[in-house]
Structure 1
Amino acid sequence: MKPVLFTALLAASATLTGLFSQVEAASAADFNWDSSWTQPTVYNKSQTGFNDTPFQEFVQAESVILPNSGQFKLDPTQLNLKYDYDVSVYFINEGAGYRNQLAFDAVGTTNKSGLIFNDISCQGTGCVGDWGGNALKLGDGVKLGNITAGTQLDFWLRSDGLNRGNDANIFGTKTASNPDKLQHTVAYAYNNYILLAFEDLYGDLRASGIDSATGKLNEGSDRDFNDVVVVLDIGEANVRGLIGATVPEPSVTLSMFALGAVSMFGLRRRRQNRTSN
């Protein structure tokens, strides 16, 4: 790892501590996925000027499983904007056989919610997955509009929502809100942006069969958190305002690079899951 890059990552990762730690989070029951939502306009990077290349470093060529650690736990009530900003979300990559969907929720001085990406799939050079679907190109972005100071933002993944619709699992940033009570999102501040990465499969690492606690099917998750990787642009001032004073352990910073591509195990488990559903 280049020393300059490591220093930048270490400083940026300090954001995690102060970013999501003050207010009690909303639960999944407080969020309603509206199936009537339609895909907003998707802008390519030549239109927006966004450069996805620096963030592709976080999508490595091998799968390294992230620890299910409280260090990575996000409290959605902490993603509060201190300044008005025209917020955008950019697609970085995806390593999922599932056709996932992503939505947002804004509560506070701005109150609105909606779909971000209806079909998170890409094919071709640079795409991790390439298992079907060509809805997005690397760096594509969606504008959420002006979000005013004093607003909380949150994000929700509907796992294989394009195919399963209302039967799909919905995973948020708060562990307690998720149907399997596991963490499904990690976040980092980097280059004045926030990187969000999601795990889309129900259940603990490589768990199979029926979850006795919920009656839901475990999906053999590899817990690699690269199924959906996006970047949130809330503005430099807001990111800086959210940076905490405590630097996490080096292992936490280094595991940013665990947002890797799906391994052969990951490839098999997704194909198996798609076959069995």
Structure 2
Amino acid sequence: MKKKFFYSLLAAALGTGLLSAAPASAFEIKSRDEAPADFKNILQDFRAFVGEERRYLSPDTIQAKQVNLSDLTLKFDYDPKVFFIGETADIYRDRLDFKATTGSQVETGQIIFGDTSCNTGDRSFPNFSQFCPNPNDALPGKVAPYKPLNVGDWVNLGSFQAGTKLDFQLVANDINGGIYENGVKAIFGLDQALNPDNLQHAIAYYYKDYLVLGFEDIWGGGDQDYNDTVFAIDIGKANARGAAKIPEPSATAAMFAIAAFGLMKTRRRQAVR
């Protein structure tokens, strides 16, 4: 009875503003040196999914690589992890957000990376320019998560039970104030129908039990290179292998080789960044 009375008083205090609920703690961004061994062993492989700025992707390729949203629903309990792979966004400095839905409970507004540009100080990393052709210095007064990233920086999203739906959003050029069209901010998600311009802004690849997502950050599709922010998600082998469209190993190898050696050839398009 006393406990019930206490919670009633607490709820009332929160409702009247006498107390304020503590904000959700920020994700801890860890370095690639602290990453799991299986990720570090294949980190260099992921550069093929970044590619070149304004690379050409055919409409058929873009459509074929739409994100299968059901693949982001966990079939088994797991601690998902998100790894920054690279970006080619030039002057745009985007923000990556995360949302999880478990039954009727929704966790929203969680920022994974506040500035998805690459850190100029990371140039000693082998093949850095193939991950990050347009690195940036940190803006004055900014601290993590609002600082440029090193390739392979990552976060543990926490523990989630089977049935949880994971979702990600890109806030275009957020650290510089965002991008607006007719008063609407450019926030692009995985579900095309929910995007403010009703266009596809993400494509997906599967590689060795990782889901790799690439975002296009320009309103209206821009240059459609889908590598303005690229990240890999570890949802666990059991969840990944239960996904609908995981290729067979030979198909995966072929896809990676094609990506690495030029299927996605550069075609310069006129696009204002």
Partner of residue 45 from structure 1, selected from 13, 32, 36: 32
Alignment coverage as a number of residue pairs: 216
Aligned residue in 2 for 1:179: 196
Distance verdict in 2 for CA 1:131–1:54, change over 3 Å:
same
Distance verdict in 2 for CA 1:111–1:181, change over 3 Å:
closer
Is it true that 1:138 corresponds to 2:139 in the alignment?
A: no
Partner of residue 129 from structure 1, selected from 125, 134, 140: 134
Distance apart, 1:78 and its partner CA: 4.4
Distance verdict in 2 for CA 1:259–1:161, change over 3 Å:
farther
Distance apart, 1:67 and its partner CA: 2.7
Amino acid at match of 1:100: D
Asked whether the equivalents of residues 89 and 144 of structure 1 are also in contact (C-alpha less than 8 Å), the reply is: yes
Amino acid at match of 2:45: P
Partners in 2 of 1:67 and 1:107 — Cα distance? 33
Identity %: 35
Partners in 2 of 1:227 and 1:259 — Cα distance? 18
Aligned residue in 1 for 2:49: 58
Mean Cα deviation higher: 225-234 or 68-77: 68-77
Partner of residue 107 from structure 2, selected from 87, 102, 112: 112
RMSD of aligned Cα (Å): 3.2
Asked whether the equivalents of residues 224 and 259 of structure 1 are also in contact (C-alpha less than 8 Å), the reply is: no
What is the TM-score normalised by the length of structure 1?
A: 0.67
Helix, strand or coil: the match of 1:230?
strand
Which digits, 9 at most, give the CA deviation of each residue in 1:49-90, with x for residues without a partner? 332211112223464322334322224354210011111100
Partners in 2 of 1:119 and 1:259 — Cα distance? 29
Output aligned runs, 1:236-255, within 5 Å.
Answer: 236-244=237-245, 253=255
Aligned residue in 1 for 2:13: none
Aligned residue in 2 for 1:74: 67
Partners in 2 of 1:95 and 1:259 — Cα distance? 18
Amino acid at match of 2:177: R
Aligned residue in 1 for 2:15: none
Partners in 2 of 1:141 and 1:169 — Cα distance? 24
Partners in 2 of 1:72 and 1:128 — Cα distance? 24
What is the TM-score normalised by the length of structure 2?
A: 0.68
Helix, strand or coil: the match of 2:238?
helix
Distance apart, 1:245 and its partner CA: 7.9
Helix, strand or coil: the match of 1:194?
strand
Which digits, 9 at most, give the CA deviation of each residue in 1:22-51, with x for residues without a partner? xxxxxxxxxxxxxx8885211001112332
Amino acid at match of 1:156: Q
Partner of residue 196 from structure 1, selected from 188, 213, 234: 213
Unaligned runs of at least 5 residues, structure 2 = 1-22, 139-146
Distance verdict in 2 for CA 1:88–1:225, change over 3 Å:
same
Partners in 1 of 2:136 and 2:72 — Cα distance? 33
Amino acid at match of 1:238: N
Asked whether the equivalents of residues 86 and 144 of structure 1 are also in contact (C-alpha less than 8 Å), the reply is: yes
Helix, strand or coil: the match of 2:193?
helix
Amino acid at match of 1:73: Q
